[in-house]
Amino acid sequence: MIITCEKDDLVNALSIAEKALPSKTIIPMLNNIIIETVDDATHLKSTDTEISIDTVLNGNIIDQGSVALNGRLFIDIARSLPKEQVTIKVDDHNEASIKCGLSEISIKGMGTVDFPQLPVISNGMSFNISSTIFRDMIRQTAFSIAPPDDNREVLTGELLKFENDEIMLVSVDGYRISIRYEEISEIPDRQFEAVIPGKALMELMRILPPTQENLNIKIDDKRAAFTINGTVMTAQLLNSKFINYEDILLPELSETKTTITVNRADLLSAAERAMLVAKEGKSSLIKLSISEHGMVLTSNADIGKVHEDIPIDINGSAIEIAFNGRYLTDPLKVVDDEQVLMKFNSDVSPCIIEPVDGKSFLYLVLPVRMG
Amino acid sequence: MIITCEKDDLVNALSIAEKALPSKTIIPMLNNIIIETVDDATHLKSTDTEISIDTVLNGNIIDQGSVALNGRLFIDIARSLPKEQVTIKVDDHNEASIKCGLSEISIKGMGTVDFPQLPVISNGMSFNISSTIFRDMIRQTAFSIAPPDDNREVLTGELLKFENDEIMLVSVDGYRISIRYEEISEIPDRQFEAVIPGKALMELMRILPPTQENLNIKIDDKRAAFTINGTVMTAQLLNSKFINYEDILLPELSETKTTITVNRADLLSAAERAMLVAKEGKSSLIKLSISEHGMVLTSNADIGKVHEDIPIDINGSAIEIAFNGRYLTDPLKVVDDEQVLMKFNSDVSPCIIEPVDGKSFLYLVLPVRMG
């Protein structure tokens, strides 16, 4: 195999393939990234068995072939090369010579026969969405994905669901529910729902380009494939049914005694100050006292206390309610809106956070019982 | 005590005082930062007993007084405040109320009587130097300060020495010697040398402003005081005599068989690539083969090898010599010159790295004996 490419293109493609390298594995072959020419395209491939990536390297093929090279070493070397044209030449013993400027680096590689075949989704439903919108959907819900060691495995992923012309991404961690809705112009050919592992979504977010591009999402019974700009990332789905979050959500939505409109950044920074002092008392409890006079947000510890006045518009009755500060600040950090709506029912019922206009997101946050 | 100031000024002054807070201490009082009004200036003070900082807070005094507040909490709170005017009011029970915008934060403080008196240097020699030059002197020599747990305590600091109209900063860690020379216009009133702890120099580097200002350095038998823009940092000196590095250096300087001129960035990036492969073999050995045909830099490991051609100008005989890659790259990383001189004597003698023009720095690096 002989290929040539620019250093920056090599680094970009390897940085994408890197995302599916296993952090540790009992299968040494998976520490490799495959370079493989297929007709007139050079592919870089990697997999940790749950996530697989196949990305096209922008370059020229002089002689067809393939090789498996230690992924992390290959990436470190590519990054360290001078900003010039790179020639990669692989001999019959799978030894790769990487030439760039006055550098020549040889790496002993392996044949690619033992590398697992990457999964391909041939059937399944498919739709297109803007890459920047889908990245926002992940960014604005990922905080309430349950941690990887949670024993309710299905909560370590997010529900991706198509219903009534809308795509929804939902995460639930036992204390809160986060939902992002997005209308899409092109309607998938059928209803569906799938649970995508949190890790796959986080890695996808990292490979989505900063500019808006078309992201194609294809889903079958076992996998989801995300295709953008010559890169395909495939993720195994979690195969349990997602928690029935609507049973928790719907009763809360039907009863609202108090609705307030509040400046998101003001509430966020007040809550963060209150948490600084609460933390000194090994707590993260913050209290909201909401009335027609405004919101008073407080926290207490032996070392001191915080008292924050926050202007609000209120509709309904006064309420006092306490939260784990982090559960309140997590959604406020990821939302971009200047103002948000907060809906309360009682001091033991969840609070709902929604946009002032439209319904692009919904956060449900459980309170902490006081006294 | 009542004082007012802008949020940003409070954060800036606290960020300076923070540098002398102990990372851990058996004296709880030292976890505090002191706020103290003295005539028409508000001082913030901190000490870990080895380093002390006294910095002036830009603000207005309404009522004189002082208080000791938990340093890290105070800093976190200051950073989290809205960008507005801050009023700090301390009552008779040392409870501080910090008001800013619609926030009011109370912190229980302590009286300042138990806080140690910060040292003052009244006698001693004194000189002025540009803050940006002195920061460069630290930055370009700090890498070869011996680590804090080194049993040769004196090597955990740097020698600051005045000799022949020049200020020198010298660090030695057993494998290399780093020296920065700087001529100063204003000649100190006498010769001197002092060993300043590495930690103090690192913290000083962090509080020196990005712009060029006048830095006054005052030294007596026990301490050095660095004064800049209303901030005084005092550091206890290491009281042993510095290692006699000139006994190692002078014989090397008198005999040079080979002198080369090389592009610093080219040599640095070639050595870094070579180290990537050497590291896979749990080594950091890189070899230089220098002749009239140029420099060839190589490294080897089971997984592969690196071969780098580097153009040089050579004066003298050919030489083959090996180095721990890090010892060679450390000085190349901190120097700003486009080209550097490297002087060799034999494959078991140290290499000297110097500027092409002038003598602002000198690095001595021990080679690794081959075979």
Min distance B309 CA to chain A CA atoms (Å): 5
- Reading the block at residue B115, the tokens are 């806080």
> Residue B105's closest chain A neighbor by CA?
A306
Whether the pLDDT of residue A371 is over 70: the answer is no
Q: Tell which residue, A115, A158, A110, A150, has the closest CA to residue A134.
A: A158
Contacts of A282 (CB under 8 A, 6+ apart): none
Measured in residues, chain A has a length of: 371
Nearest neighbour of B102 by CB, restricted to A77, A305, A308? A308
In a mutational test of the A interface, the residue from B94, B97, B107, B263 whose CB has the highest number of chain A CBs within 10 Å is B107
CA separation, residue A135 to residues A9, A46, A121, A207 (Å)? 23, 22, 22, 10
Q: How many CB pairs under 8 A join A and B?
A: 96
pLDDT digit string, tens, across residues A245-275 = 999 888 888 889 999 999 999 999 999 999 9
pLDDT digit string, tens, across residues B231-266 = 999 999 998 899 999 998 888 888 899 999 999 999
Min distance B151 CA to chain A CA atoms (Å): 35
Q: Measured between CB atoms, does A265 come within 8 Å of chain B? A: no
> Largest Cα–Cα distance of chain A, in whole Å?
79
Q: With bands split at pLDDT 50, 70 and 90, how would you rate the model's confidence at B329?
A: very high
- What is the residue whose two structure tokens read 């006498």? B190
Q: Are B341 and B261 in contact (CB under 8 A)?
A: yes
Q: Are B47 and B116 in contact (CB under 8 A)?
A: yes
Mean pLDDT of chain B: 95
Q: Are B332 and B267 in contact (CB under 8 A)?
A: yes
Weakest mean pLDDT among A182-186, A354-358, B41-45: A182-186
CA separation, residue B175 to residues A37, B178, B196, B247 (Å)? 48, 10, 20, 15
pLDDT digit string, tens, across residues B307-322 = 999 999 999 999 999 9
Q: Are B160 and B196 in contact (CB under 8 A)?
A: yes
The ipTM (two decimal places) reads 0.90
- The full set of domains in chain B, from first to last, is 2-108 (3.10.150.10), 125-243 (3.10.150.10), 252-365 (3.10.150.10)
φ and ψ of A250, to 5 deg: -60, -45
What is the arrangement of strands in the sheet containing A125-130, beginning at the earlier edge strand?
A: A66-70, A32-38, A41-47, A51-57, A231-236, A223-228, A214-219, A125-130
In a mutational test of the B interface, the residue from A10, A286, A305 whose CB has the highest number of chain B CBs within 10 Å is A305
DSSP code at position A16? H
3-state SS class at A67 = strand
How far apart CA A280 and CA B106 sit, in angstroms, is 13
Find how far residue A83's CA is from the centre of its chain.
Answer: 31
Q: How far apart are the first and last CA of chain A?
A: 72
